[in-house]
Amino acid sequence: MMNAQELPSTRPYLIRALYEWCTDNGYTPYLVVRVNDSVQVPREYVNNGEIVLNVSYDATSGLQIGNDFVEFKARFGGKPRDILIPVRRVIAIYARENGQGMAFPLDDDADIQLGADESMTEQDAPSPEGAERAAVQLQSVDGKTRKAKDKDGPRPPQPPTGGGRPALKRIK
């Protein structure tokens, strides 16, 4: 019998499920990745330590979302590049068109695994030492708004701004 430390991560399964949901419904799946030395992406496109990648069928070649790595080929500025991302560095997947998706805690060097009957609270979520905690507000797949909680209680959902593309918004 496996204990909680030996259970495989649910993250790659959730990424694959949301990728499939996006593609089945005609949405463009985007990955948000926290970049470090283990992430192979074009560094010139990294902003504030993160990169947002279009991982749609049309934008990638040979996409494989494995249990340990997301890998594919993509063009950046017309130049083909090999992309290799450890699954633990993926911090969100969402649909570009409506912002619906899921954010994940960043388990930098700690491999915290939870059993099926345990749930992760904000206090349990792993974070890099000394880093500020940031809640992420996303639309859930069923359309209900998830609200980030802070000292002042729940925050109301932000109304969509006209014409721009949806993006993840970090609330500090």
Q: What is the mean pLDDT of the chain?
A: 73
Q: What is the pLDDT of residues 88-105, one digit of tens each?
A: 999 999 999 999 999 998
The domains located in the chain, with CATH, are: 4-171 (2.30.30.220)
Q: What is the pLDDT of residues 13-64, one digit of tens each?
A: 999 999 999 999 999 999 999 999 999 999 999 999 999 999 999 999 999 9
Residue 26 tokens read as: 């005609």
Is the pLDDT at 163 greater than 90? The verdict is no
